[in-house]
Copies of this chain bind each other. A is one copy, B any other.
Amino acid sequence: MDLLRVSMTDGQINWEEFPKDLILGGRAVIDYLLTKHADPRVHPLSKRNYFVVAPGLLAGTSAPNSGRLSVGGKSPLTGTIKEANVGGTSAHKLARLGIRAIMVSGSSESLKILKIDDKGAVLEEASTLKGLGNYRTCEILQERYGGNIGIIIAGPAGEMKLSNSTVAVTDPEGRPSRHAARGGLGSVMASKGLKAIVIDDAHGKGCEAVDKEGFKLAVKSAAEMIASKPICQNLAKLGTGMWVDSDHARGSMPTYNYRAGGFENYEKINGKRISELAEQRKGKMGHRCMPTCVVRCSTVYNDTEGRHVTSGLEYETLAMLGANLGIDDIDAIAMMDHRCDDLGIDTIEMGAAIGVLNDVYLFEFGDKAQAMTYLDEVAKGSPVGRILGNGVSVTANAFGISRVPAVKGQAIPAHTGRTVKGWGVTYATSPQGADHTAGPVGVEPLSPEGQVERSRLAQIQMASLDATGMCFFTFLYATPQAILPMINSLYGIHWSENNYLDMGKEMLRQEIAFNRKAGVAVEGNSMPDWLREEPLPPKGTVFDVPQDELDRIFDF
């Protein structure tokens, strides 16, 4: 019994058997369950929408970087099917309890916690947690249930039903600093009346490989392969903030509301700066966001007094709340990141939303106090806060802005598609909306040629990877050839690379079909028109991959 179904309306909890013949995990489980059970036409915040949680195929094992947790549902931000994944400890814990997926339906009038351990699952009252920030909520839950639990949590933004609201997951230190951030799934979770899922795997049965010896060897070989890459060593030293330098250099870092691709003050907000401050303030580089990680790109960022501010001050946050807002004060960015983590807000979407206000004279670049005030407004739920908290598309709509940096309602992330055109193809076409993890393409970034083919392959590979529960960075440096031996020995199967990629193709097909019934036509896949016309300094790039090539991306 590995499929946990929870009906929030009547408090019913049922354990079912996930089909034994289906070797699926993470995003693939979400695509399968939503295709099978959900009505794509319902409102995302309707009690008839589902909120699904699924660890990946390799979760619960010693496979390197294998602890990504997928959450999913119909998204209030994009109106499409949505999967967002996140590190932290919960995926491993769920897998060690033998759980393949949790499927939550209905809606409870009072706020609840779903507590899961080896004895089963129960719903408990959570009314006292109403409106509390994620950090305080986790402290309370850890006092109540012990320090070794994993927590999956909808923050205040989710409770406020904001379309930009995350699902947070606690990291190894128990902090709610890891976020399944994109697509507003926090509000889907909260709309069920579900505040948090608490997982205690102290007495979990663990995960045992069918071919134990083969699995051990496969893991060792994959871990060595990943760890041997120079870039992984750099990530451990500099965090993902190292990309501030490279994206600045190639002109692909959104700056000043996507009006430039490089930021003159980039050295004030890059990985090197973070690592210097970590040394001065007893922070940490080479932090793990989840057990089994061999890359260690996370960071612990402290204030001048050496107190924790945020963990994992990531490139996307530095670009979107920093460069894109013209803010070069790394402490201010870290504080905004903390604030977003505490509210349960995606920093990419937030940075894009504040940025477009510059077009209507409501935000001046570099004004960190104003940016912080806007976060206060979101927390208060004032009208302008509610506008911003619903993301960049609602913000642009509300203020009559037609230069909208979004696809399918979701903000374009921090590697601009004008300069890295393959990534741009992914933004334009992914069934999940503009998403840098849906199919990254760094090859020959400035040329439009061949990018549709590259994005197609990347989207298929990333879909498959999102089923394994392995981190994005594994994909960048580990090929399917390194992943397959682990899956095959764990499950006692004999997948070829084609089997593995066929899974990704089927996932994309399911997502496109779901979206169509949700009213979102694949024929509309495109980049916002202004990206084809407005050259991005300093490279002067526009997005120039022909529309008719985009139209053929899912011909497979």
Which residues on A are within 8 Å of B, measured CB to CB? 39-46, 48, 76, 160-163, 187, 191, 382-384, 386-387, 390, 394, 397-404, 408, 515-526, 528-530, 547
Q: Give the shortest distance, in Å, between A23 (CB) and chain B (any CB).
A: 30
Partner of A404, one of B43, B523, B529: B43
Contact B530 A46 (CB under 8 A): yes
Would A519 and B529 be within 8 Å (CB), given that A397-B390, A399-B386 are in contact? no
Contact B547 A41 (CB under 8 A): yes
Contact B383 A45 (CB under 8 A): no
A517 to B397, CA, bound (A): 20
Contact A525 B529 (CB under 8 A): no
- Chain B residues positioned under 8 Å from A520 (CB to CB): 519-521, 524
Query: Which residue from chain B places its CB closest to the CB of A40 in the assembled complex?
Result: B524
Q: Give the shortest distance, in Å, between A187 (CB) and chain B (any CB).
A: 7
Contact A76 B43 (CB under 8 A): no
- Chain B residues positioned under 8 Å from A384 (CB to CB): 383
Contact A523 B519 (CB under 8 A): yes
- Chain B residues positioned under 8 Å from A404 (CB to CB): 43
Contact B402 A398 (CB under 8 A): no
Q: Give the shortest distance, in Å, between A131 (CB) and chain B (any CB).
A: 14
- Chain B residues positioned under 8 Å from A48 (CB to CB): 529
Partner of A46, one of B383, B394, B402, B519: B402
- Chain B residues positioned under 8 Å from A529 (CB to CB): 39, 41-43, 46, 48
- Chain B residues positioned under 8 Å from A187 (CB to CB): 400
A44 to B404, CA, bound (A): 11
Query: Which residue from chain B places its CB closest to the CB of A400 in the assembled complex?
Result: B161
Q: List 5 A-B contacts (CB under 8 A).
A: A45-B402, A386-B400, A408-B519, A517-B523, A519-B525
The 5 closest A-B pairs by CB, nearest first: A519-B524, A161-B400, A521-B521, A45-B402, A383-B383
A204 to B163, CA, bound (A): 54
Contact B524 A397 (CB under 8 A): no
Query: Which residue from chain B places its CB closest to the CB of A391 in the assembled complex?
Result: B397
Q: Give the shortest distance, in Å, between A411 (CB) and chain B (any CB).
A: 15
Query: Which residue from chain B places its CB closest to the CB of A521 in the assembled complex?
Result: B521
- Chain B residues positioned under 8 Å from A518 (CB to CB): 521, 524
A99 to B472, CA, bound (A): 59
A253 to B529, CA, bound (A): 41
A398 to B46, CA, bound (A): 16
Would A390 and B398 be within 8 Å (CB), given that A48-B529, A516-B523 are in contact? yes
- Chain B residues positioned under 8 Å from A516 (CB to CB): 521, 523-524
- Chain B residues positioned under 8 Å from A40 (CB to CB): 524
Contact B519 A43 (CB under 8 A): no
A200 to B386, CA, bound (A): 46
Contact B528 A517 (CB under 8 A): no
A383 to B397, CA, bound (A): 12
A404 to B46, CA, bound (A): 10
- Chain B residues positioned under 8 Å from A408 (CB to CB): 519
Query: Which residue from chain B places its CB closest to the CB of A44 in the assembled complex?
Result: B402
Query: Which residue from chain B places its CB closest to the CB of A404 in the assembled complex?
Result: B43
Contact B43 A402 (CB under 8 A): yes
Contact B547 A400 (CB under 8 A): no
A523 to B390, CA, bound (A): 26
A191 to B400, CA, bound (A): 9
A260 to B335, CA, bound (A): 48
Q: Give the shortest distance, in Å, between A445 (CB) and chain B (any CB).
A: 23
Would A191 and B402 be within 8 Å (CB), given that A397-B76, A521-B519, A523-B516 are in contact? yes
Q: Give the shortest distance, in Å, between A191 (CB) and chain B (any CB).
A: 7
Q: In this complex, which of A42, A76, A402, A528 has the most chain B Cβ atoms within 10 angstroms of its Cβ? A: A402
Q: Give the shortest distance, in Å, between A138 (CB) and chain B (any CB).
A: 24
Would A41 and B524 be within 8 Å (CB), given that A48-B529, A187-B400, A386-B398 are in contact? yes
A161 to B39, CA, bound (A): 34
- Chain B residues positioned under 8 Å from A390 (CB to CB): 397-398
- Chain B residues positioned under 8 Å from A45 (CB to CB): 400, 402
Q: Give the shortest distance, in Å, between A402 (CB) and chain B (any CB).
A: 4
- Chain B residues positioned under 8 Å from A382 (CB to CB): 383
Q: Give the shortest distance, in Å, between A178 (CB) and chain B (any CB).
A: 24
- Chain B residues positioned under 8 Å from A526 (CB to CB): 41, 519
A547 to B161, CA, bound (A): 28
A36 to B424, CA, bound (A): 28
Query: Which residue from chain B places its CB closest to the CB of A77 in the assembled complex?
Result: B397
- Chain B residues positioned under 8 Å from A525 (CB to CB): 519
A518 to B519, CA, bound (A): 11
Q: Give the shortest distance, in Å, between A501 (CB) and chain B (any CB).
A: 27
A387 to B382, CA, bound (A): 12
- Chain B residues positioned under 8 Å from A530 (CB to CB): 43, 46
- Chain B residues positioned under 8 Å from A386 (CB to CB): 387, 398-400
- Chain B residues positioned under 8 Å from A400 (CB to CB): 45, 160-162, 187, 386
Q: In this complex, which of A48, A383, A516 has the most chain B Cβ atoms within 10 angstroms of its Cβ? A: A383
